[in-house]
């Protein structure tokens, strides 16, 4: 069977993942990469989906071909797309191999537990959340183009998604990719191959009766205060520095809307796509884990903390009208924990 990839734009990659999952294989499998345009989210989602598909049909011979003359293919190979599918593919750079510059973060895998261990080994006796925030700041510098406020906000966005992974996904590893586009828009994509949002939320018996599908789960996940850790007898998050309050995805999606960007959340067989502050699309996909896309326009970005404060206040107001939610955002959800990152960026 021969399957062609014609685009790795956001919606097209989600559809590709869905179509790929529906295939029944009994012969060799050939992927023809003939993309006209690729983006960080599309590359990450397609690479992970192809790898999951190969694991499902590990007994089937797998081949990948490409139209090397296309600029988009060269870009994808430089970013590590092909070897993210399989390290046996003899084309392009390894994930994380490209140096990166002030325009892009190549496809990179981060072992979050190892990251924390390395910090401790180097004498930094810090919590996992602190280690993730430091790494997020390093990554954000690549896309912030020496803009202090942009650096703070991108650090916050990356940190909020990364810290969800060990807490909720039963997964230690994350994939990340990013690009600063010429229209003053930054795009960050983060993917994990954990248990998915529905399985995470259903661990909490409070939610099982009304979160039955992947669609229920992703819609609930971007609401303020909904978290696997919620307990009716303890409605407020603890005062531990890295307490979870269920505001992470709400904050991230709200910031993207505030800055006229886009936000996409995919898990299981559904995705949710938000474009600007009004357009919302729900559609079918197929992905074992959780994939997040964030874009923000820097045109209207002046004070990052003011935006974070505004969205968190809105979230707390909304959470007060909904049952079974944390009513207050945790300390991390209200900004960066390390003030030095704010001062020195």
Residues 31 and 79 in one domain: yes
Point out the domain boundary residue: 54, 81, 98: 98
Residues 138 and 263 in one domain: yes
Length of the chain: 345
Residues 90 and 45 in one domain: yes
Residues 106 and 38 in one domain: no
pLDDT, residue 203, reads: 94
Residues 227 and 302 in one domain: yes
E strand or H helix that includes residue 132: helix 128-144
Contacts of 38 (CB under 8 A, 6+ apart): 7, 8, 9, 72, 75, 76, 81
Task: Answer for the pair 65, 4: CB distance below 8 angstroms, yes or no.
Answer: no
Question: pTM above 0.85?
Answer: yes
Angle at 294 between CA 200 and CA 313, to 5 degrees: 75
Q: What is the pLDDT along the chain (345 residues), one digit of tens a residue?
A: 899 999 999 999 999 999 999 999 888 999 999 999 899 999 999 999 999 999 999 999 999 998 878 999 999 999 999 999 998 898 899 999 997 667 899 999 999 999 999 999 999 999 999 999 999 999 999 999 889 999 999 999 999 999 999 989 999 999 999 999 988 899 999 999 999 999 999 999 999 999 999 999 999 999 999 999 898 877 666 567 788 899 999 999 999 999 999 999 999 999 999 997 778 999 999 999 999 999 998 887 889 999 999 999 999 999 999 999 999 999 999 999 986 665 454
pLDDT, residue 100, reads: 63
**Domain count within the chain:** 2
pLDDT, residue 240, reads: 74
CATH of the domain at 117: 3.30.565.10
Residues 25 and 164 in one domain: no
To the nearest 10°, the Cα dihedral for 240, 242, 245, 250? 160
The dihedral sign for the CA sequence 106, 100, 132, 95: positive
Residues 106 and 93 in one domain: no
- Structural domain including 59 reads 1-98
pLDDT, residue 342, reads: 57
Residues 106 and 253 in one domain: yes
Sheet containing 262-275: which strands, arranged edge to edge? 104-111, 173-181, 185-192, 279-297, 262-275
Residues 167 and 302 in one domain: yes
Bridge partners (DSSP) listed for residue 262: 275, 295
pLDDT, residue 341, reads: 64
Residue 55, both tokens: 């694991």
Point out the domain boundary residue: 83, 98, 113: 98
Task: Write the CA distances from 50 to 18, 35, 54, 57, 202, integer angstroms.
Answer: 11, 15, 6, 11, 27
DSSP classification of residue 216: H
Residues 90 and 113 in one domain: no
Residues 160 and 222 in one domain: yes
CATH of the domain at 26: 3.30.750
Point out the domain boundary residue: 98, 129, 156: 98
Residues 151 and 198 in one domain: yes
């Amino acid at each position: 069977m021969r399957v062609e990839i014609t685009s790795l734009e956001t919606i097209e990659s989600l559809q590709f993942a869905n179509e790929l999952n529906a295939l029944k294989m009994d012969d060799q499998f050939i992927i023809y990469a003939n993309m006209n345009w690729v983006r960080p989210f599309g590359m990450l989602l397609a690479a992970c989906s192809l790898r999951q598909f190969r694991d499902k049909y590990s007994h089937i011979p797998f081949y990948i071909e490409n139209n090397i003359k296309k600029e988009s293919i060269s870009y994808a190979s430089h970013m590590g797309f092909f070897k993210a599918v399989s390290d046996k593919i003899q084309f392009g750079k390894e994930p994380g191999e490209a140096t990166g510059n002030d325009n892009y973060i190549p496809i990179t895998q981060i072992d979050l537990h190892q990251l924390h261990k390395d910090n401790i080994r180097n004498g930094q006796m810090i919590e996992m959340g602190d280690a993730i925030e430091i790494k997020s700041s390093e990554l954000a510098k690549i896309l912030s183009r020496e803009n202090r406020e942009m650096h703070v906000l991108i650090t916050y966005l990356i940190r909020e998604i990364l810290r969800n992974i060990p807490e909720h996904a039963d997964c230690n590893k994350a994939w990340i990719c990013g690009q600063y586009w010429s229209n003053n828009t930054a795009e960050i994509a983060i993917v994990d191959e954990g248990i998915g949002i529905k399985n995470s939320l259903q661990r909490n018996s409070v939610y099982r009766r009304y979160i039955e599908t992947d669609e229920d789960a992703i819609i609930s996940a971007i609401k303020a205060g909904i978290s696997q850790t919620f307990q009716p007898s303890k409605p407020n998050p603890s005062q531990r520095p890295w307490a979870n309050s269920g505001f992470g995805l709400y904050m991230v999606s709200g910031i993207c809307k505030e800055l006229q960007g886009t936000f996409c959340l995919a898990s299981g067989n559904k995705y949710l796509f938000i474009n600007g502050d009004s357009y919302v699309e729900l559609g079918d996909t197929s992905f074992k884990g959780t994939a997040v896309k964030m874009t923000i326009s820097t045109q209207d970005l002046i004070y990052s903390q003011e935006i974070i404060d505004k969205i968190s206040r809105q979230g707390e107001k909304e959470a007060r009208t909904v049952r079974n939610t944390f009513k207050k955002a945790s300390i991390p959800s209200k900004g960066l924990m390390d003030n030095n990152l704010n001062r020195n960026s």
